Amino acid sequence: MLKKRTLSTFALVSAALILTSCSSSDPMATSRGGSSNSDTVVVGSADFAESQLIATIYSHALQDTGIKVEEKLNIGSREVYMEALRDGSINLLPEYNGYLLGELDADADTSDRSTIDAQLAKLLASEGIEVLDASKAENTDVLVVDPTVAKQHKLENISDLQPVAGELVLAGPAEWKSRYVGLPGLEKEYGLSFKEFKVLDAGGPLTLSALQNGQAQVGDLFSTDPAIEESKLVTLVDDKGLFLPANILPVIRKDAASKEVTEVLNRVSASLTTEDLMHMNGRIAAGDDFGAIADDWLKEN
């Protein structure tokens, strides 16, 4: 069954993580590797920190292989950076597969993870754009619980909540009252009816605080939020695929996708994990430099 899902959650990811940008106010004029030319890969990014970090990893990985790179980070929203990709102002950027597919085709089936990348490839082919390998790293909604609650009720999957949801308080954003990826979907897909729905924020500090002080036992956070790891929260497996897939993958113009470039970027995707992003997002929140974080990750991987 095709599940209709709103894309607005993704726009809140950077706010929820409280990560700040370090880029120039005129990203289309900035450069790390020199002026753009036919043998230079121009790497762009969205205007939130995680996108800039991943783009920096792509950039440094390519440069470490001897490929010329120019960076134009912090471009703006998807509407802006996709136009930059289409007109050749940039020719590479990181994306989130399910969200990109939903943006390009509102009627696309985002419920089947195995077909998302193929659908993207088909939609973008006529524009001279292709998608490379998706990583395991993903940034999407997750339900989390305190480890004590997880142990008490033997919770590993979201479906494990079914017999005990009536005893538990769920914390999340107001839009979850009506959004399919929220209370309606949790009820329809999982049969969950919670004791109470506490309206707080979208994967932010209020939800985290409610989990920590016991005002809520289940909360909506984002999968790469460093607070999950720092607070030792347990992420419940979305075993029925309610939440929109959001695996990170390189999107590149075909005229820049040489064999060498493709191999480097696919190696990055093969190594990048959600846990890596949690750790790196934590470093960004602490004020570390994008470039240093990217180089440390590349050395380790």
In CATH, the number for domain 141-235 is 3.40.190.120
Confidence of residue 7 (pLDDT cuts 50, 70, 90): very low
Q: Is 198 helix (H, G, I), strand (E, B) or coil?
A: strand
What is the rounded CA–CA span in Å between residue 297 and residue 15? 24
What pLDDT, on a 0 to 100 scale, did the predictor assign at position 184?
94
Return the domain boundaries, the chain.
8-138+246-300, 141-235
Looking at residue 56, its pLDDT comes to 98
pLDDT of residue 27: 61
Same fold, 8-138+246-300 and 141-235: yes
The predicted-structure confidence for 95-121, as pLDDT tens digits, reads as follows: 999 989 988 998 888 878 889 999 999
Q: What CATH number belongs to 8-138+246-300?
A: 3.40.190.10
pLDDT of residue 112: 83
pLDDT at 102: 86
pLDDT confidence of residue 113: 85
- Cα 112-116-119 angle, rounded to 5 deg: 125
Asked if 76 and 41 count as a contact pair (C-beta separation under 8 A), the reply is no
Residue percentage of the chain with pLDDT more than 70: 87
Q: What is the pLDDT of residue 20?
A: 42
CA-based nearest residue to 118, from 104, 144, 137, 97:
97
Predicted structure pTM score: 0.79
Share the mean pLDDT of the chain.
Answer: 88
What pLDDT does 6 receive? 45
* Res. 21: pLDDT tops 70: no
Question: Cα–Cα distance between 199 and 252 in angstroms, integer?
Answer: 40
Q: Lay out the sheet containing 169-172: strands in order across.
A: 196-199, 169-172, 218-222, 141-145, 234-235
- Report pLDDT for 14: 44
In terms of DSSP bridges, do strands 169-172 and 196-199 run parallel, antiparallel, or are they unpaired? parallel
Which of these, 204, 226, 224, 212, lies nearest to 274 by C-alpha position? 224
pLDDT over 90 (residue 9) = no
Residue 70 reports pLDDT greater than 70: yes
pLDDT digits (tens, 9 = 90+) for 132-178: 999 999 999 999 999 999 999 999 999 999 999 999 999 999 989 98
For the residues 202-213, what does the mean pLDDT come to?
90
Radius of gyration for the alpha carbons in the chain, expressed in angstroms and rounded: 20
Angle at 108 between CA 104 and CA 112, to 5 degrees: 125
